[in-house]
Amino acid sequence: MSWSPAGAGPMEDAVSASTAESSGQIVVAGAGYAGLHVALRLTAKLRNDPEMGLALVDRHDYHQVITELPRVAGGTRAADAVRIPVQDMLAERVRFVQTEITGFDLAGRRLLTGAGPIGWGRLVLALGSRPNDFAIPGLAQRALSVYSADDAERVWAEVSKALMSAAAETDPEEQRRLATVVVGGGGATGVELAGELAEILPEAATGHGLAPGRPAVRLIEAGPTILAGSSPQLIDKATRILSDLGVQVRTNAAIAAATEEGLRLTDGQLVEGGVFVWAGGVKAPELVADSGLPTGHNGRVKVDRYLRVLDHPDIYAAGDLASVTDPRTGHVLPPLAQVALEEGETVARNLDAELSGKPLEAFTFHDKGFVVSVGTRRGVADIAGITTGGRLAHLLKDAIEWEYRQSVTHLRGWDPVAI
Ligand SMILES: Cc1cc2nc3c(=O)[nH]c(=O)nc-3n(C[C@H](O)[C@H](O)[C@H](O)COP(=O)(O)OP(=O)(O)OC[C@H]3O[C@@H](n4cnc5c(N)ncnc54)[C@H](O)[C@@H]3O)c2cc1C
């Protein structure tokens, strides 16, 4: 069950990372919710194993608090506020390598990166996901996405530009079209984004010399309901808040194509607007699809109950890119930060167990509930079977985000080597 660190030590730079000597180390690919959690937890767990190298690899030198992106897209939070420098969170024990991961040498147990190959004794794959446009023609070109701080900043910039163009327009119809934001996808991301924008746009319009009632937000969902899979009570409360905010929600409205004119629905109708944002789902990164690793629905990597990639016991997967079935429901767990963090916890425990020759722990998801903000003041929440809607749910969302930020900086303090 255990493997040898094979002389692994902290990497001094990307070159030493590429040497065979470091091939016994644990390499965590991705400093998002799952990967960062693994690195932080392992830092403490490996305190009795100072020889074991631990490397964290990401293209950015910051961790993105993705759950706060709707606020950046709505202009109420600066993009820099959701980028936490990785070095502010990691203990010296963890060697951080900022580089693009370009592929996998599975047989040679090496990550291929812009900084050269990085050998692993154990690899943790936590590269997240990317927007899934479901091959809808024109969508990737015509619609913005909101999956990074840069994306979210771009959405707010485009919305501001559209309001400015609308203000310069004399034709009221054209003015209305330009000041309309169309959000595709009525899941949690789409609802949060639509709510945030609907709340902010009247004031933003005034700032551009437009009537506050001129902007509009449309939310387009292919399925019969927004927030699919949630309780009817939660859906009802969210729908009421959106309606109160003036969001025009359309369900059973599948997009056939995105064109110069707007979004063409499968029933032939055209949805016009000045800005289009797609929040209709995610799939695994391209890199994973081309890796030769076993993949399932949406390209997510198949794992066993210990979160090891099937047929690859030296590789664990966690977060959005892992396809993890909840044995109680038989369904694959959704791509959520909450799930990513819990999976990261199990992966850290299992790596520690392997090193100590202890049995591995099967992953069990403990659902803490579902909270969605709807606008800047209200939200909806389903926790322990109780549904709430309104100010309290929004405060809950704020509290969860605050607690998360505290935890990522607090966990660093658990590393006795760093003290
Ligand atoms: C707008 C929005 C709002 C959301 N709100 C919520 C919410 O309120 N609650 C909730 O539970 N979930 C929410 N989610 C989902 C949640 O953000 C994801 O489930 C979570 O980020 C998944 O964590 P992860 O570690 O798998 O991936 P990520 O957090 O995306 O991290 C992946 C990391 O891998 C790095 N990476 C990827 N490819 C490469 C490469 N080739 N080379 C180097 N580095 C690479 C990235 O830079 C990134 O740091 C939201 C998602 C979005 C888009």
Q: What pLDDT shows up at residue 414?
A: 45
Q: What pLDDT shows up at residue 12?
A: 34
| Ligand 1 atom with least separation from CA of 102 | 41
Q: How far is the CA of 335 from the centre of ligand 1 (A)?
A: 9
Residue 329 makes CB contacts below 8 A (sequence gap 6+) with none
Q: How far is the CA of 331 from the centre of ligand 1 (A)?
A: 21
Where does the pLDDT of residue 23 fall: very low under 50, low under 70, confident under 90, or very high at 90 and above? low
CB of residue 28 inside a 6 A radius of ligand 1 = no
The pTM score is 0.92
| Ligand 1 atom with least separation from CA of 36 | 25
How high does pLDDT run on average in the chain?
Answer: 91
Say whether pLDDT at 315 is over 60. Answer: yes
Query: Mean pLDDT across the stretch 180-202?
Result: 97
The Cβ of residue 364 has, within 10 Å, a number of other Cβ atoms equal to: 11
Query: Mean pLDDT across the stretch 389-399?
Result: 96
Q: What pLDDT shows up at residue 290?
A: 84
CB of residue 126 inside a 6 A radius of ligand 1 = yes
260 vs 173: CA distance, rounded Å: 17
CB of residue 69 inside a 6 A radius of ligand 1 = yes
CB of residue 368 inside a 6 A radius of ligand 1 = no
CB of residue 34 inside a 6 A radius of ligand 1 = yes
CB 321 within 8 A of CB 296: no
Say whether pLDDT at 368 is over 60. Answer: yes
Say whether pLDDT at 75 is over 70. Answer: yes
Name which of 7-11, 37-41, 385-389 the model is least confident about: 7-11
Residues forming beta bridges with residue 283, ordered by sequence position? 130
**Is pLDDT larger for residue 198 or for residue 405?**
198
Residues forming beta bridges with residue 370, ordered by sequence position? 382
| Ligand 1 atom with least separation from CA of 285 | 38
163 vs 182: CA distance, rounded Å: 14
Q: How far is the CA of 294 from the centre of ligand 1 (A)?
A: 21
> How does pLDDT run across 108-119, given as a tens digit for each residue?
999 999 999 999
CB of residue 146 inside a 6 A radius of ligand 1 = yes
| Ligand 1 atom with least separation from CA of 67 | 5
CB of residue 195 inside a 6 A radius of ligand 1 = no
Residue indicated by tokens 């520690």: 352
Q: What pLDDT shows up at residue 328?
A: 86
Residue 410 makes CB contacts below 8 A (sequence gap 6+) with none
Q: What pLDDT shows up at residue 289?
A: 87
Say whether pLDDT at 199 is over 70. Answer: yes
Q: What pLDDT shows up at residue 349?
A: 96
> How does pLDDT run across 168-178, given as a tens digit for each residue?
999 999 999 99
CA distances 355 to 2, 41, 267, Å, are 5, 14, 58
Where does the pLDDT of residue 416 fall: very low under 50, low under 70, confident under 90, or very high at 90 and above? very low
CB of residue 31 inside a 6 A radius of ligand 1 = yes
Residue indicated by tokens 């995105």: 258
Q: State what percent of residues in the chain have pLDDT above 70.
A: 92
> How does pLDDT run across 345-365, given as a tens digit for each residue?
999 999 999 999 999 999 999
**Is pLDDT larger for residue 89 or for residue 272?**
272
Query: Mean pLDDT across the stretch 28-35?
Result: 98
117 vs 139: CA distance, rounded Å: 35
